[in-house]
Chains A and B, each alone.
Chain A
Amino acid sequence: MDVNMTRIRPYGDTLDDGYMQLSFTLPVPLCAEARKAAEILAEKMGLEDVKVVYAHSIADSFSFFVVYGRCIHSVDMTAIEIPKVDADFMSYEEINKFIENRIGRRIVVVAACTGTDAHTVGIDAIINMKGYRGEYGLERYPWFTAYNLGSQVPNEDLLAKAIQVNADAILVSQVVTQKNIHIDNLTHLAELVEAEGIRDRVLLIMGGPRISHELAIELGYDAGFGPGTLPSHVGSFIAQALAQSIRNRREQAREVYPCQTNP
């Protein structure tokens, strides 16, 4: 199959036919006008040859639709640039060996699911000994000391623990993202870390199903891990980022380097 990466279109029955299906609810009783409204809406979304293939009344004044149509748009996938977490992912053994050789002491990590959020599945998968999808969690790593504070932890308590145990990294998990509650919560934590003056000596990492690396960077974190992240991904990043910052501190090189050449 010869796919043009600069013009990606939905695959319906044949390559590049653009056919796609969508479903949605309109807050109106089901009638001929409502069906037409669904069709017009789909056309406004950039579909051609629109067919309402299913319509059902789901309450007195709500109708559910399934619509089929041909999307007129295409996407140039080669032009998409997504900043990704900058780390070479290593295995359990490689990470431990890396820390032993490059850092020479155990890395201390404090983790929690913060605010009102009670969903610990994410942080447990990364931290807890039994791990996730056949991988051990950071607790099991001989070269990590991991503290999992659990759920609904106030930012103040998370940071207090991090300061007490002199943590190298703070991991914060946010699963509930309704009304962007996670943004307020993550912003507050970043401001606290900055106000306490420890931003330069701790790695600040966020994770969750709606978390992206871009969001993490924008809010002043070092990394953001989305769905599908494994403990070794997080472990690799922490080990390498910490080794880098230790190297930077050691270098104590001159503050700035004047540019010699024009680009």
Chain B
Amino acid sequence: MNPSVSREKTAVIPTRDDTVRLLDIAISSGAENIAVVGLAKNSGKTVALNAIIKQAQALKIRIGVASSGRDGEKLDAVTRLPKPRITLQKGALVATTERLAMNSSASLEPLIKTKHATVLGRLIIYRVSSPGSVEVASGNKASVVKNVTELMRHLGAELILIDGAAGRKFSSAPSLADTTILSTGAVVAPTVEGVISRTAHVVEILTTEEWSDPSRQTFDPEALTNQDVVIISWAAMGKQPKSVKVESVLVSAAEIVRQLPGPGGTIVLGGALPGNLLRDLITCRVARGSTVVVHDATRILARHRDISLFKSGGGRIKVLQKIRLAAITTNPVSPDGRMFDAETLLTAIARTVRPIPVIDVIAGKTRNLPTYHEKARDETDGDGVA
């Protein structure tokens, strides 16, 4: 068995039409902020980002590039493995630090010096004045990344691209990005089955459906603070929902569950959804028919085991703001030498996450394309992927 053979075959003839589609898919419904997040380091985020950058620049779209990790350097700072470079054309905007700007071969004209000091230096918004490679690091906190992308937008960027860090997903929050691309690959697990199951878990969470209850209208996602918990119990139907301020769900999970008179209630959380709340709902026998609503899917931080126990016990998880997962990219190669058959991985992932488009950027192959565009996403009661 030698899966590398077919990989090499496909890698030498990238079918340009297909790689182009990654951007097409992303911007077809008016994406303005695209986040590329991955299941792990080396899952192929930057390769996906580069495919979008290349196409956007060919279409003369003015892009602004940010990274919540560190990208574009020759060798990875942690693993010393070679990394894909990031090449920007004249006019592109980029948020990076002074020191990394000096390492870049592109000429960069500083536009705005931000207040954010990172370990790699102060963050500055640059405009590329002559093309070349750039090294990008735009801060590792959501608040900082949000601020620099807003500044780039203000300076005229039409399309903001955020490269995620390692396996972190916070860049895909609706407050940062309106469209998310997820990268997965051989690095995630030793077997194709393992990659599929871990990818399916992440997709299930990221694509959590919007809460469609009539009370949804009374919630302003922006006004909900991290300390807010709203309990809408079955007994209180038709009455005002009960609002509670807690220090954190992490501290007061048991107390929140105690306030539910019985199964079938709804809990709207302003902060994170941790596993202990779900476990408490199950042990207190109030999971059946109950709904937990969070701001967006990046707040769902219960482990998969707790989530599936809760759901199989009749509970539902919903979000106030849905993440638009536009596409998934697959990378059959892992830096430790593991290599799957590109076609097998692509097809298997595509079957699992249907109808989301799946793309192997290097091989230039896509799956799930036509159905995605034709089929209107009907809002059934299903949770995430089937």
Contacts and interface: CB of A to CB of B under 8 A. Distances in A.
Interface of A: 83, 86, 154, 156-157, 159-160, 163-164, 183-184, 187-188, 190-192, 194-200, 212-215, 217-221, 248, 253, 255-259, 262-263
Interface in B322-367: none
Q: Please name the 9 residue pairs, one residue from A and one from B, whose CB atoms are nearest each other, closest first.
A: A197-B226, A195-B272, A160-B250, A220-B140, A259-B110, A214-B77, A195-B299, A163-B248, A156-B274
A209 B69 CA distance: 22
Nearest to B277: A156
Given A159-B250, A163-B251, A196-B271, A256 B69 contact: no
Interface string B153-173: 000000000000111111000
A220 B78 contact: no
B166 A83 contact: no
Interface string B59-86: 0000000001110000001100000000
B272 A255 contact: no
Contact of B250 (A191, A196, A258): A196
Contact of A200 (B41, B109, B143, B247): B143
B301 A192 contact: yes
Contacts of B225: 197
Given A191-B168, A194-B170, A262-B109, A199 B251 contact: no
Interface of B: 40-41, 68-70, 77-78, 109-115, 118-120, 124, 140-143, 147, 151, 165-170, 225-226, 247-248, 250-251, 271-272, 274-276, 298-299, 301
Interface centre among A195, A198, A221 (most CB of B within 10 A): A195
B248 A160 contact: yes
A259 B275 CA distance: 46
Nearest to B40: A183
Contacts of B274: 156, 192
Nearest to B111: A259
B287 to A, nearest CB: 18
Contacts of A257: 112-113, 115
B169 A191 contact: yes
A259 B299 contact: no
A255 B275 CA distance: 37
Contacts of B167: 183-184, 187
Contacts of B77: 83, 214, 218
Contacts of A212: 78
Contacts of B112: 256-259
A157 B276 CA distance: 9
B144 to A, nearest CB: 9
Nearest to B109: A262
Nearest to B140: A220
B110 A263 contact: yes
Given A196-B271, A220-B141, A256 B113 contact: yes
Contacts of B120: 83, 217
A220 to B, nearest CB: 4
A197 B78 CA distance: 27
A187 B301 contact: no
A255 B115 CA distance: 6
A188 B299 CA distance: 11
A218 B109 CA distance: 26
Nearest to B122: A257
Given A187-B166, A196-B226, A218 B140 contact: yes
7 contacts: A156-B275, A164-B251, A183-B166, A218-B165, A256-B113, A259-B112, A259-B113
